[in-house]
Amino acid sequence: MKQKSLTSKQAICHNLFSKVWTPLISIDEIIRELEDE
């Protein structure tokens, strides 16, 4: 039971991390494109 709740917590953390990380990567790519010009 504990292991199952741990994995679900990890999944939630991973989903939240992905939601935050993806926009950060996009912003970083935009900044790089602006710096290249």
Report pLDDT digits (tens) over 3-30. 777 789 999 999 999 898 888 889 999 9
Q: Tell me the domain boundaries of the chain.
A: 7-36
User: pTM of the full predicted structure?
Assistant: 0.47
Q: Which residue has the higher pLDDT, 32 or 1?
A: 32
Query: Which two tokens mark 5?
Result: 């709740």
**With 70 as the cut, is the pLDDT of residue 2 above it?**
no
Q: Which residues contact 20 (CB under 8 A, 6 or more apart)?
A: none
Per-residue confidence (pLDDT) for residue 4, from 0 to 100: 74
Predicted confidence at residue 34, as pLDDT, reads: 94
Give 33's pLDDT tier (boundaries 50, 70, 90): very high
Neighbouring CB atoms inside 10 A of 37's CB total 4
